[in-house]
Amino acid sequence: MKAPRFGLIVLAGFAAVSRAAYAIVGIDAPPPPSAPPETHFAQPKETKLENGLRVIVAERPGLPLLAAELVVRRGAEVDPPNLAGTASMTGALLTKGTESMSAPQIASAIESLGADISSGAGWDQSTVSIIMMSDKADAALTILADVVLHPTFKQEEIDRLKKQRLDALRVALQQPGSLAGFVSERVVFGSGEYGHSAGGTMETLQAMQRDDIVKLYKSCYSPENASLIFVGSITLEQGKACAEKFFGAWKGSPMAIAKTQPASLTEWKRQNVVIDMPQAGQAAVAVAKPAIKRDSPDYYSGLVANAALGNGFISRLNREIRIKRGLSYGVRSSLDARRDPGPFSAAAQTKNESAAEVAKLLISELKRLETDPVQGEELKSRQAVLTGGYARGLETNEGFAASLASLAAYNLPLERLNQFLPKINAVTTKDVNAFVNKYFATPPSLIIVGKTPAFLEPLKKAFPDVRVIPQSDLDLNSADLVKGK
């Protein structure tokens, strides 16, 4: 560490000088940082069981806490047409009853161990994760294996979960932010594999039958299609022995599954959609368009471009919308890279009266990435936002396990974990520009959910082609967003 540079520090004697003027006598500017520390993460190791299950272990001695995660390389992307939410329901139902335990028995057994289990589906993967004290691993992993291998999908549990999800959805549909999210998916992907609501809609949840769930389970949950991850005070040998003991008897091979085709990027058409929600207490304003695959060579430059735009308190969007104009509590943009090209989006909530202004700012800041390149200190700072955030995500055993699960879901080499920092730091202004030109050259779609009388007139001046859909006519099952024909 470097020595501090200022020699003359006057301490308590002068302490009484005006508080309003300065705190630290003789130091008016921040002291420079000392030499940066090095960051390195545990190196994950892997092996495979005879049944094809991949076993990944990151040994992190220390606290007697073990995280385990079972990840299956299929998610809401394989929801059957008109049955949005099937993968999500299937994942959630795993912990709701097995051949030997009822839902209350599973909950009681897990919680008695002090453990925590959760299961569900993302877009391209389904996971069951559990965190436990190391000395309770045997009992907890017995339950993990049981819910993955022997779920019963009892009709009673399906009905109960459906009702809970329908009620939760009734609430979400009254929130401008979550409704804008559902609408964005349709606007970006239409009838493509990512166009539906991953959690299901009022209609698809009601239509879903037990057979649909069992079929999805049989098609996707098999050892060849799965990875088991351990993070904590555990060696590869111990991890393999555990995997063998609890998952060695798992049989079955993945069945071919009819999958909705990905939306064609070349056919994608920009559209500007407003949902009129008469009771909206605030407007949700979003821009979105399809972007990149997870294994795209543009992944790292895309993350940096996105970070400059809307990742962090002083990213460009927050500077313009929150700091300079006080128009929102916060703005963020995201680049969600998936197995097939996933969405880029940026969103903010603002008072209904400012919706048009925020929409224009979202568009103009996206445009400014081209004309005012990300370079110098800004580039460096956004690289740090990404590398720092990545490192914080790996601080906990469960966070580390989730990162490994994501690499496994996309069949990416485990070395990527330790390559993230250098790869982000290698991104140049030229790389960011190339990304911006390739993916942001045409403007995104605009999605607003709010009280239209407050903003429609000024909005139409900037976006004359805007299409207004009353909330009562909205149909999230339709690529076209409206009911009937």
Q: Applying CB under 8 A, which of residues 47, 152, 175, 296 lies at the interface with another protein?
A: 175
**Binding to another protein by residue 177, rule CB under 8 A?**
yes
Determine the number of helices (DSSP H) and then strands (DSSP E) in the chain.
Answer: 16, 12
Q: Which of residues 309-368 bind another protein (CB under 8 A)?
A: 312-314, 322-329, 349-351
Which phi and psi (to 5°) does residue 343 adopt? Answer: -90, 150
**Binding to another protein by residue 155, rule CB under 8 A?**
no
Smallest gap from Cβ 188 to another protein, in A, equals: 23
Contact 56, 414 (CB under 8 A): yes
- In whole angstroms, how large is the CA radius of gyration of the chain? 25
**Binding to another protein by residue 201, rule CB under 8 A?**
no
Nearer Cβ to another protein, position 52 or 177? 177
Window 48-77: contact mask with another protein (x via CB under 8 A):
------------xxxxxxx-----------
Q: Which of residues 219-258 bind another protein (CB under 8 A)?
A: 232-235, 238, 241-242, 245
Q: Which amino acid is at 351?
A: K
Q: Could you tell me the two tokens for 149?
A: 């291998």
User: Could you give the C-alpha distances from 68 to 146, 228, 397, 429, in angstroms and in order?
Assistant: 14, 7, 9, 39
Beta 45-48 vs 116-121: how paired, if at all? unpaired
Nearer Cβ to another protein, position 225 or 315? 315
Nearer Cβ to another protein, position 84 or 283? 283
Contact 134, 233 (CB under 8 A): yes
Smallest gap from Cβ 97 to another protein, in A, equals: 12
Q: Which range of residues in 157-165, 190-198, 360-368, 453-461 is near another protein by CB under 8 A?
A: 157-165
What are the CB-based long-range contacts (under 8 Å, 24+) for 323-326? 325/357, 325/361
Task: Give the strands of the sheet with 445-450, arranged side by side.
Answer: 331-335, 343-350, 283-290, 445-450, 272-276, 467-470
Q: Could you tell me the two tokens for 293?
A: 């695959």
- Beta bridge mates, 127: 71, 120
Q: Which range of residues in 18-26, 79-87, 287-295, 406-414 is near another protein by CB under 8 A?
A: 18-26
Nearer Cβ to another protein, position 88 or 222? 88
Helix, strand, coil % (nearest 5) of the chain? 45, 15, 40
**Binding to another protein by residue 33, rule CB under 8 A?**
yes
**Binding to another protein by residue 470, rule CB under 8 A?**
no
Q: Which of residues 102-131 bind another protein (CB under 8 A)?
A: 103-104, 107-108, 110-116, 131
**Binding to another protein by residue 208, rule CB under 8 A?**
no
CA distance 291 to 303: 11
Nearer Cβ to another protein, position 123 or 390? 390
Nearer Cβ to another protein, position 190 or 239? 239
Q: Which of residues 254-273 bind another protein (CB under 8 A)?
A: none
**Binding to another protein by residue 23, rule CB under 8 A?**
yes
Give the count of residues interacting with another protein (CB under 8 A).
Answer: 111
**Binding to another protein by residue 397, rule CB under 8 A?**
yes
Handedness of CA 279, 317, 331, 427 (dihedral sign): positive
Q: Which of residues 423-462 bind another protein (CB under 8 A)?
A: none
